[in-house]
């Protein structure tokens, strides 16, 4: 039986954490409050949830060789310094290539994380689903 792991957020760190869990035969569940991956890299015209995100004209100031995942380099035709759309495309390609989307519960906000006294499961994660009420 694989050990269960909670990952909070499906941004750059979250999706790489999911992949690391899968690589180590762990069972990740990622809780993402929005309806898509990318976190701060997912551009939207307005910020309904109060999160700051990339701005429309953003271009990275870190080269593609330094900002890629070690096991998933950028395509050769990607520019050395890319705009936010190209970087988000890369995150989407990474998630799809390693079949990570199936581990993500979208529109799910983590409301609490508490240590359990019984030691059978170390932590309890309380979540609110935007469309379905509360769950644990």
CATH assignment at residue 103: 3.50.50.60
Q: Is the pLDDT assigned to residue 67 strictly greater than 90?
A: yes
Q: How many structural domains comprise the chain?
A: 1
C-alpha 41/C-alpha 83 separation (Å) is 10
> pTM for the complete prediction?
0.85
pLDDT of 135 over the 50 cut: no
Residue 23 pLDDT class (50, 70, 90 cuts): very high
The torsion of the CA quartet 71, 72, 73, 75, rounded to 10 degrees, works out to 160
Minimum mean pLDDT among 70-74, 111-115, 118-122: which range? 118-122
The whole-number pLDDT of residue 134 equals: 44
Range of the domain at 71: 4-135
């Amino acid at each position: 039986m694989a050990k269960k792991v909670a990952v909070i957020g499906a941004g750059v760190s979250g999706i790489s954490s999911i992949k690391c869990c899968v690589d180590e035969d762990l069972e990740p569940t990622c809780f993402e409050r929005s309806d898509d991956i990318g976190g701060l890299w997912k551009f939207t015209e307005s910020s309904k949830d109060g999160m700051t995100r990339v701005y429309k004209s953003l271009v990275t100031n870190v080269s593609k060789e330094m900002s890629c995942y070690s096991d998933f380099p950028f395509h050769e035709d990607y520019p050395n310094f890319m705009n936010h759309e190209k970087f988000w495309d890369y995150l989407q390609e990474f998630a799809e290539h390693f079949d990570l989307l199936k581990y993500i519960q979208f529109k799910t906000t983590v409301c609490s994380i508490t240590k359990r006294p019984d030691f059978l499961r170390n932590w309890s994660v309380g979540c609110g689903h935007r469309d379905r009420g509360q769950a644990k």
